[in-house]
Chain A
């Protein structure tokens, strides 16, 4: 039993340096997650602002329409389909870096969800805050950036970290465009060694550890933000 386990372990991870598939894959997964979250953050923030300005002032009709279209399309279709459309259709004839393509796809996808998170964060701030800012002479935009957003962002940090966790797991479909992320790395080992158990369980465990670390960080951040309040 133990001997069997040991030989399987050596076959899957040590021989030919196969652990490199997992290590390199993990790096790609982390890179994808990090930059997609950043892109999504920028997109989500801008969209939430545009929609909020529209809802409160009636301005920005066309940008608001485009935002709603974007949200409908992105949230109404599977992310794997979006990824393939971006890779095979939009960038079908130009060869650009696969990692970049994936970051674009996941970032655009995440932006739609982060936009909703920001929006609910803005709506959670009592309307007296906007009135207080305006009554002092701040414009709508100044009140938004100086008074509303700092409070809203603080409120949504825990939810945003959840989105990071979701995204980390979602990037496991990057293999669809032959990108060697963590999941694909495990799959490559499986196809070389014809044993599924070890590589796939290893991949699952690595994801689990990453998610737990993020959850731990989220709790820490949440506690620190709470402490600042009082």
Chain B
């Protein structure tokens, strides 16, 4: 049973809007994300898909609407967003590992400082996860000594070390050399198979088709269509989606 719809959705986005000055990037997006969902967000560049993702943990501050996460409206100025971000892991296009710390420190700094884990506990869990992505032997190395694909796998592990309830991926393979894309997608696939809730902004249509439970299409700041991957790719309804798919597939 992948989706547990008996509970209220994990993330409920209501009429989410975002403008940069006069420029409107998101025109009221409404969507529910259930526990265990793997939502892939696709769309042409400039469609607002990254902004949508970054609004989910308020790295970009929404200018309207609300986001209910774990039953709390995190857009309310009185919520402690730092506390909620601990439960929302994020993976960036540019990895953004901390270059002045070794890998193990990258993975343990947040659990130790924010969740008051002991060093042993944090390192034990970090090593366990590193083992699973096949990078345990690099624990004492520094990020810049690693390849892009390895850095991105570490970045995923860094987010996982906080034991998040949802993982947000912002074009995680776009900055990678082609031969390294596979190893990162493999880790994400494994996560999905363990029923981690994931929101993934991506250009990897193959990944979306194979792994997603739902695919969302954004264009021009509008949420135009969503469907299960087979329907989405084989029987698109919206004209702009059909046009987009004809270009990328």
- A residues adjacent to B (C-beta < 8 A): 126, 128-129, 131-132, 134-139, 142, 146-147, 150-151, 154, 228-230
Contact = CB atoms under 8 A, between A and B. Distances in A.
Main secondary structure of the interface of A (DSSP, over half): helix
B124 interface: no
Given A132-B92, A229-B99, 5 more contacts: A134-B85, A137-B114, A146-B113, A147-B98, A151-B98
A228 to B, nearest CB: 8
A136 B144 CA distance: 20
Contacts of B47: none
Nearest to A137: B86
A155 to B, nearest CB: 10
Contact of B82 (A128, A138, A146, A150): A138
A136 B160 CA distance: 10
B98 A135 contact: no
A142 B114 CA distance: 10
Contacts of A151: 98-100
A135 to B, nearest CB: 4
Residue from A128, A131, A229 whose CB has the most chain B CB atoms within 10 Å:
A131
A201 to B, nearest CB: 45
A142 B113 contact: yes
11 contacts: A126-B94, A128-B96, A132-B92, A132-B96, A135-B159, A136-B159, A137-B86, A137-B114, A154-B100, A228-B100, A230-B142
Contacts of B100: 150-151, 154, 228-229
A230 B85 contact: no
B109 A146 contact: yes
B83 to A, nearest CB: 7
A135 B145 contact: no
Interface string B77-112: 000001101101110101011111000000001100
B145 A230 contact: yes
Nearest to B94: A128
B92 A131 contact: yes
Contacts of B228: none
A137 B85 contact: yes
Given A137-B162, A138-B114, A132 B97 contact: yes
A41 to B, nearest CB: 20
A230 to B, nearest CB: 6
A77 to B, nearest CB: 38
Nearest to B86: A137
Nearest to A142: B113
B164 to A, nearest CB: 10
A128 B95 CA distance: 8
B59 interface: yes
Contact of A129 (B82, B96, B113): B96
B202 interface: no
Contacts of B96: 126, 128-129, 131-132
A206 B162 CA distance: 57
B158 interface: yes
B102 to A, nearest CB: 11
Given A151-B99, A230-B142, A134 B94 contact: no
A109 to B, nearest CB: 31
B59 A135 contact: yes
B57 interface: yes
Nearest to B142: A230
Given A151-B99, A230-B142, A230-B144, A135 B90 contact: yes
Residue from A136, A154, A228 whose CB has the most chain B CB atoms within 10 Å:
A136
Contacts of A131: 59, 92, 96
Residue from B57, B90, B96 whose CB has the most chain A CB atoms within 10 Å:
B96
Q: Which 10 A-B pairs have the closest CB atoms?
A: A137-B86, A132-B96, A135-B90, A128-B96, A136-B110, A137-B85, A137-B114, A137-B82, A128-B94, A151-B100
